[in-house]
Chains A and B, each alone.
Chain A
Amino acid sequence: MEALLRIEHLSKSFPGVKANDDISIEVHKGEIVALLGENGAGKSTLVKSVFGLVKPDSGTITIKGEEIEPGDTAAAIRHGVGMVHQHFQLVPVMSVVENIVLGDEPHKGVFITKKAAREEVIALSARYGLEVDPDAFVEDLPVGIQQRIEILKALRKDIDLLILDEPSAVLTPHEIDELLEVIRKLAASGVGILFITHKLHEVMAVADRVVVLRNGKLVGTTTPKETNEEGLAQMMVGRNVVLSVEKGPARAKEVALEIKDLSVKDDRHLDAVTHFSLEVRAGEILGIAGVEGNGQRELVEAICGMRHRQTGTVNVSGKESPDMDPRGVHLMGVSHIPEDREKDGLVSSYSIADNLTLNQFNLKPFSVKGIRDFNARDEYADRLVKEFDIRTPSYQNSASSLSGGNKQKVVVARELTQNSHVIVASQPTRGVDVGSIEFIHKQLISARDGGAAVLLVSAELDEILSLSDRIAVMFGGKIVAIIDGQDADRQYVGRLMAGLSG
């Protein structure tokens, strides 16, 4: 049978990196192929080549027997390729309908027929069971719905091949289940699916075939039947990876972070956190479990001085920390791994070295008497790049040149090497590959063993369960229960997260 998509001997280099090196892959009709690999392994580059967003240096891409013009998105779309991007490509100030029809608008002459466009979107969303409000404006919608719009956008073109670039990275567990269901349905209707993910259980759940890339090279193809999650992780990283976290018992000491009666409002000035109190002790990891949007983000921002505290105080090592003063909070010994690394964690246009010293560039040894010491910075950056395995040709490169997971490593490296008393880690492994997850988890545990109080916020329940010494379940801006990490039961916590009482 003729393959739906055939990639042959594809290579692509960027300055200093060989992103894809002689890769050949096939995808058949109705097949779900998972593309797996570490951050920076070249997965995104590969799928972007197929969609014409990147022009490969050599090699051919054939769809349904026809070779397509490299680097031409319109040609890829004509050949029936649709893509859902890792960073949503939506226009926030436009309506759902406008976003979906963009590029191929129903029209009479030069005019868009709004009614026809709206009806088409309603029909499309009904056909695939992907519910959206056609008249809503994209900027007002949660990410799960935004992604649904992206998928609808792709499906609208009667595609044969759907590419999904890390579609589950920003979704809640429930949204992920829905997404996997959609993927299965589409494949059953004959669409070939090529999707990138870091989450091995998703691969095991839906993929027919798994293709693994490492350092730009194809290292192997397998099926979920022939392997398990450990096997996949090993293929990706090239060594044994321990997926379960190994840690000794916590030796909790004095209270390092004390939150008393904290109330915070969200961006729309609604109550996000109400009269919240919590203590985290030095030498323990306290995990906050909860469905996203239950006040975790606002809580973290209020602790770190990025959001106004309406009521209450946050004490660090017994002293009250300042409100709305991120630097002041940091100087008291609080490290923060922010949820949104692009927005709050990095200055993309700065070099990796500058990003690694972003909150200490003015302190010794990086500045002496107000003059910056670049040698000290470079030595430090060189050490951290090696220690944290940040994949880059040089620490002089801008942070924007890094792949998502490597950006996260920069933030983690900066925040965990400052001997802080308190570490606030929000979604520390979001969009990060298994090898790096293992590494970041080890770092968090060794920070704990070194006597730091770690407040971990994560949408990944498994991460919370495996790392936390104590688990606080958050619902509707309040703590509904605090459980010991040892005897936490997945289903019990899940029920609490959903707002059910036990």
Chain B
Amino acid sequence: MLKRINIKPWQLILGVVLLGVWIYCYIANTDITNSVVASGMRFGMPLALAAMVGIMCERSGVINIGIEGTMLLSGFTGFYVASWSKNIVAGLMIAILTGILTSFVHAMMTIQWKMDQIIAGTIINILASGLTSFLYKQGSTIPNSWPIFDIPILGQIPFIGHAFFTQQGPIQYLGLILIPAIWVMMYKTRWGLRTRAVGENPGSADTAGVSVIKVRMINVMFGGAIGGFVGGFICLELVGSFSKEFTAGSGFTALALMIFGRWNPMGAFAAAILFGLAQALSTQLQIFGVTNIPNQFITMLPYVFTIVVLAVSAGKVRPPAAAGKSYEKEQA
């Protein structure tokens, strides 16, 4: 059974241990624990959503390393439109639209023109980095972003309620709905079954009358919409401004988390939250004034964590079999 749901026993053990640590800390000091977990959520959510972009694409057989560029471009357009129109909603909409357009370019290159998928992603990244740096203008601001609020009832749940359902903005909460929704889509719907079939053996889908090109195009563009959503999320809610190269490699971190989560939306979400917690913890340690460990090592914590986790789990992972391969109808 564990083989099928792609969870290794040691991952379960890791989860149980972390849960134990959490409960222990919660009892020892509720306030600080809650705030660390909540800030872990804040760090983890954009990465989790970015990982969803990767999952949407790779599950349908397209490797997308252009997540970074997609987020950068859409954060850029979203922020400046919000700043110019004084309307955050318009900004977010534009960010999503930018994400869709960017991934449309990616999809055309990889699916229609059957270009190398890694190169296509690199093009998106370089284009985004160059374009946003060139057009960058200092001093723009956006109107006050959405208020941070608590979700009634859910926020009152003891233990988890405070950590997950309080002190966040609307996009953060939307993410909490979006990720399980993607999981449901992937494993419970017709579209999900077709998507996975296309990513594993496009020939099987094609011969069943499912258009491989269509399934891939739509998945990649839907992924792009999420990518745009994350870009907007970071610039409009989480940080509240656009700075050059604000993504700082998080698109690639997201791909690592996707692999750690075995291309499963909930798995990648768990991985991203784990990463976010490591980051929150490193921040908390700095606030506590832990000085006997050099600052740099503490900041390194989440990245070391990623590398270790990937190194341990790599080699045993099983990506969608057709990921990275253009689909050619069989000849002769």
Nearest CB in chain B to that of A51: its residue: B207
Task: Tell me the complex Cα distance, A51–B203, Å.
Answer: 13
Check A105 against B4 for contact (C-beta < 8 Å).
no
Check B204 against A91 for contact (C-beta < 8 Å).
yes
Task: Tell me the complex Cα distance, A137–B4, Å.
Answer: 10
Residue with the highest number of chain B CB atoms closer than 10 Å, among A54, A77, A102 = A102
Check B188 against A93 for contact (C-beta < 8 Å).
no
Check A53 against B209 for contact (C-beta < 8 Å).
no
Q: Does chain A have a CB within 8 A of B205?
A: yes
Which 5 A-B pairs have CB atoms at the shortest separation, nearest pair first? Answer: A103-B208, A89-B204, A74-B209, A91-B200, A89-B207
Check A48 against B209 for contact (C-beta < 8 Å).
no
Q: How far is the CB of A472 from chain B (nearest CB, A)?
A: 38
* B5-21 interface (Cβ within 8 A of A): none
| Number of residues of chain A lying within 8 A (CB) of chain B | 36
Q: Does chain B have a CB within 8 A of A449?
A: no
Q: Which residues of B contact A101 (CB under 8 A)?
A: 193
* B 194-210 binary contact with A (CB < 8 Å = 1; else 0): 10110011011111111
Residue with the highest number of chain B CB atoms closer than 10 Å, among A14, A90, A91, A110 = A91
Q: Which residues of B contact A92 (CB under 8 A)?
A: 200-201, 321
30 residue pairs A–B, Cβ–Cβ below 8 Å: A17-B332, A51-B207, A53-B207, A53-B329, A73-B206, A74-B209, A74-B211, A77-B208, A85-B203, A89-B201, A89-B206, A89-B207, A91-B196, A91-B201, A92-B200, A94-B197, A101-B193, A103-B210, A104-B209, A105-B190, A107-B190, A110-B185, A110-B189, A110-B190, A111-B188, A112-B193, A137-B4, A153-B208, A401-B332, A403-B332
Check A102 against B205 for contact (C-beta < 8 Å).
yes
CB within 8 A of A54: which of B197, B209, B329?
Answer: B329
Nearest CB in chain A to that of B4: its residue: A137
Number of A-B contacts (CB under 8 A): 87
Check B207 against A73 for contact (C-beta < 8 Å).
yes
Check B189 against A103 for contact (C-beta < 8 Å).
no
Using known A-B contacts A89-B204, A111-B188, A111-B189, determine if residue A102 contacts B329 with beta carbons closer than 8 Å.
no
Task: Tell me the complex Cα distance, A51–B196, Å.
Answer: 23
* B 299-332 binary contact with A (CB < 8 Å = 1; else 0): 0000000000000000000100100000001111
Q: Which residues of B contact A87 (CB under 8 A)?
A: 203
Check A102 against B193 for contact (C-beta < 8 Å).
yes
Q: Does chain B have a CB within 8 A of A99?
A: yes
Q: Does chain B have a CB within 8 A of A315?
A: no
Q: Which residues of B contact A112 (CB under 8 A)?
A: 188-190, 193
Q: How far is the CB of B225 from chain A (nearest CB, A)?
A: 18
* B171-197 interface (Cβ within 8 A of A): 185, 188-191, 193-194, 196-197
Q: Does chain B have a CB within 8 A of A19?
A: yes
Check B205 against A103 for contact (C-beta < 8 Å).
yes
Check B203 against A89 for contact (C-beta < 8 Å).
yes
Q: Does chain B have a CB within 8 A of A357?
A: no
* B 18-54 binary contact with A (CB < 8 Å = 1; else 0): 0000000000000000000000000000000000000
Check A94 against B188 for contact (C-beta < 8 Å).
no
Q: Which residues of B contact A426 (CB under 8 A)?
A: none
Check A104 against B208 for contact (C-beta < 8 Å).
yes
Q: Which residues of B contact A274 (CB under 8 A)?
A: none
Q: Does chain B have a CB within 8 A of A83?
A: yes
* B 119-155 binary contact with A (CB < 8 Å = 1; else 0): 0000000000000000000000000000000000000
Nearest CB in chain A to that of B192: its residue: A112
Residue with the highest number of chain B CB atoms closer than 10 Å, among A77, A107, A110 = A110
Q: How far is the CB of B4 from chain A (nearest CB, A)?
A: 7
* A 171-186 binary contact with B (CB < 8 Å = 1; else 0): 0000000000000000
Q: Does chain B have a CB within 8 A of A147?
A: no
Task: Tell me the complex Cα distance, A17–B331, Å.
Answer: 12
Using known A-B contacts A44-B332, A90-B204, determine if residue A77 contacts B209 with beta carbons closer than 8 Å.
yes
Q: Does chain B have a CB within 8 A of A31?
A: no
Check A91 against B197 for contact (C-beta < 8 Å).
yes
Q: How far is the CB of A75 from chain B (nearest CB, A)?
A: 9
Nearest CB in chain B to that of A72: its residue: B209
CB within 8 A of B331: which of A14, A103, A137?
Answer: A14
Task: Tell me the complex Cα distance, A105–B201, Å.
Answer: 17
Q: Which residues of B contact A74 (CB under 8 A)?
A: 209, 211
Task: Tell me the complex Cα distance, A13–B205, Å.
Answer: 26
Nearest CB in chain A to that of B185: its residue: A110
Task: Tell me the complex Cα distance, A99–B204, Å.
Answer: 8
Q: How far is the CB of A65 from chain B (nearest CB, A)?
A: 22
Nearest CB in chain B to that of A74: its residue: B209
Nearest CB in chain A to that of B6: its residue: A93
Q: How far is the CB of B5 from chain A (nearest CB, A)?
A: 12
Task: Tell me the complex Cα distance, A30–B201, Å.
Answer: 32
* A46-65 interface (Cβ within 8 A of B): 48, 51, 53-54
Check B209 against A103 for contact (C-beta < 8 Å).
yes
Check B200 against A103 for contact (C-beta < 8 Å).
no
Q: Which residues of A contact B321 (CB under 8 A)?
A: 92-93
Q: How far is the CB of A399 from chain B (nearest CB, A)?
A: 13
Residue with the highest number of chain B CB atoms closer than 10 Å, among A48, A73, A85 = A73
Residue with the highest number of chain A CB atoms closer than 10 Å, among B185, B191, B206, B321 = B206
Task: Tell me the complex Cα distance, A230–B75, Å.
Answer: 73
Q: How far is the CB of B186 from chain A (nearest CB, A)?
A: 12
